[in-house]
Amino acid sequence: MAATGTVALSGCGGQTQKVGTEPPKKQDPFERRADQIERDWPKVSPVSGRKDAMLPLVGADRPKDTATREITVTVGHGACDAKYGVHTHESKGFVVVAGWSKKKNAKGMCTEQLATDKVKVRLTSPLDDRKIVDAATGKQLAGK
């Protein structure tokens, strides 16, 4: 619950102004899962069911140079998906990743085969010793 109050601002003519905290931002399922992984690591269970917004990754390549700011992950998606990509959440100890896909609104037949593609993920800070964790499975990828 956000607290609000009234405070006198000194040096501003004695005016009063209401201050408070912003309501918490609503997290999407991926961000909630990333927070859960950080909190519960290493005892993390996989998510249940297939969720197009949080698909398990096929793998990740851990770069030899830990000062790099880029990792490559292999995303599995449906052959008929219109778009696909990777969610990323970075923290001090983890890079949490998950695939996502959006289905085409196509009429007609579509096979249910799995396609895989390598996707480069740009990090905001060097990888260093952080663990790369698949959000869907809760497992460490490209172990160290």
Other CB atoms within 10 A of residue 78 CB: 19
Does the pLDDT of residue 122 top 60, yes or no? Answer: yes
Whole-structure pTM value? 0.77
pLDDT at 109: 75
pLDDT of residue 128: 94
Residue among 53, 2, 21, 41 at smallest CA distance from 133: 41
pLDDT for position 17: 46
Contact 54, 100 (CB under 8 A): yes
Tell me if 36 sits within 8 A of 43, measured CB to CB: no
As a whole number, mean pLDDT of residues 26-36 equals: 90
Could you give the CA distance from residue 22 to residue 61 in angstroms, rounded to a whole number? 39
Q: pLDDT tens for residues 47-75?
A: 987 676 788 999 999 898 989 999 999 99
Phi, psi of 27 (to 5 degrees): -85, 145
Cβ neighbours of residue 78 closer than 8 Å, sequence gap 6 or more: 101, 103, 110, 112, 113, 114, 115
Phi, psi angles (nearest 5°) of residue 38: -60, -40
Q: What does the alpha-carbon distance between residue 73 and residue 86 come to, in Å, rounded to a whole number? A: 8
> Among positive and negative, which fits the CA dihedral 72, 129, 93, 37?
positive
